[in-house]
Amino acid sequence: MKIHKEGRTTILIVIVTIAVILAVIITFSLYNFWILTVFGSASLVVLLQTLMFFRIPQRDILIKEDGIVSPADGRIVMIQEVEINEYLKEKRLQVSIFMNMFNVHVNWYPCAGDIVYYKYHPGAKMVAWHPKSSEKNEHTTVFLNQGKHVIGVKQVAGLIARRVICKARIGKQVLQCSELGIIKFGSRVDILLPPDAEVLVRKGQRVWGCETLIANLK
């Protein structure tokens, strides 16, 4: 397992903060067995949780030319037809994956292709499972020309997400399951599929990035 480079500064801040608080406790003799036990336990939980946010686990990567592979770890919270008005003006089948605080927060490209559109949108901090969060919250929108189809991916920040980082650049060729970016302490990824795509997952199902096949393209 590796730690994402975007998490190194955050992890360092957490470690320094814990060290400073511990130094104050010891310097002013504010400690006893229970204070040290509670502080030590809380510090360990915070540090481990921070490491979990930024971990990059080893994966058995699934490559499928006409398949859409999950771009994130999490749970399916929405599968429905939506009308999109960004880049494409048409109906799309949206599959949304919610990432909780224990999931890996690195995101991957669900298919290979050429990036034909990318835009960052500042926005609100609604809970990520809210239907309006895709439009109202801070998010990025990416469209890839897969060859036969144009596939959309959105990284959507949630209530406690602090920063959406996306590596997409227009004109860049990307491989399936290469890194799209990361949502710091964040929260949801939407896939925008052709209406006739064969969706292989169901609402409430748990999925794993680069391992779970979300849909087949026709």
Task: Report the number of distinct structural domains present in the chain.
Answer: 2
Which residues are paired to 3 by β-bridges? Answer: 55
pLDDT digit string, tens, across residues 4-13: 777 678 888 8
Residue 139: pLDDT over 70: yes
Asked about 187 being catalytic, the answer comes back as: yes
Query: Based on the domain organization, do 175 and 203 belong to the same domain?
Result: yes
**Residue 189 covered by a domain:** yes
From the list 70, 96, 133, 187, the catalytic residue is 187
Query: Based on the domain organization, do 119 and 163 belong to the same domain?
Result: yes
**Residue 208 covered by a domain:** yes
Query: Based on the domain organization, do 194 and 107 belong to the same domain?
Result: yes
Residue 117: pLDDT over 90: yes
pLDDT digit string, tens, across residues 22-63: 888 777 767 677 887 888 888 888 888 777 777 777 888 899
Domain boundary among 18, 34, 56: 56
Residue the block writes with tokens 């398949």: 67
Residue 129: pLDDT over 60: no
Residue 185: pLDDT over 70: no
pLDDT digit string, tens, across residues 166-184: 999 999 999 999 999 998 7
Q: What is the CATH number of the domain that holds 89?
A: 2.70.70
Angle of helix 8-27 versus helix 33-53 axis, rounded to 10: 170
**Residue 61 covered by a domain:** no
Query: Based on the domain organization, do 118 and 208 belong to the same domain?
Result: yes
Query: Based on the domain organization, do 119 and 48 belong to the same domain?
Result: no
Residue-range definition of the domain harbouring residue 154: 67-216
**Residue 62 covered by a domain:** no
Largest CA distance in the chain: 69
- Reduced to 3 states (helix: H, G, I; strand: E, B; else coil), residue 135 is helix
**Residue 110 covered by a domain:** yes
Residue 80: pLDDT over 90: yes
Angle at 82 between CA 76 and CA 83, to 5 degrees: 155
**Residue 130 covered by a domain:** yes
Residues in the chain: 218
Mean pLDDT of the chain, nearest integer = 87
Query: Based on the domain organization, do 76 and 177 belong to the same domain?
Result: yes
